[in-house]
């Protein structure tokens, strides 16, 4: 996936963070529209950035749960 990020940076003139977010948005869109391909899409875009994205999601989930427990975010 890093090759795709590098191409986006070069061809679209965007930052690494923007390219990564764009790829995740596209991945999520494809998975939503074609749920039967979800596993294949995950495998196609699997890398360290994907793991970081999952970690961020887990952290956000924990924050939400703690906010619910303690009356706010």
What integer pLDDT is reported at residue 12 of this predicted model? 94
Average pLDDT over residues 34-44: 87
Domain count, the chain: 1
User: What residue numbers bound the domain in which 21 lies?
Assistant: 2-69
Q: 49-58: long-range contacts (C-beta < 8 A, 24 or more apart)?
A: 49/1, 49/2, 49/5, 49/20, 49/23, 49/24, 50/1, 50/24, 53/20, 53/24
What integer pLDDT is reported at residue 13 of this predicted model? 94
Average pLDDT over residues 5-27: 91
Mean pLDDT of the chain: 82
In terms of pTM, does the model score above 0.75?
no
Q: pLDDT band at 50, cuts 50/70/90?
A: low
């Amino acid at each position: 996936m890093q090759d795709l990020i590098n191409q986006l940076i070069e061809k679209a003139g965007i930052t690494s963070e923007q390219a990564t977010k764009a790829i995740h948005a596209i991945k999520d869109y494809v998975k939503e529209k074609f749920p039967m391909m979800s596993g294949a899409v995950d495998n196609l875009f699997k890398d360290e950035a994907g793991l970081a994205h999952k970690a961020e999601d887990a952290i956000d989930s924990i924050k939400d749960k703690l906010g619910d427990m303690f009356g706010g975010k």
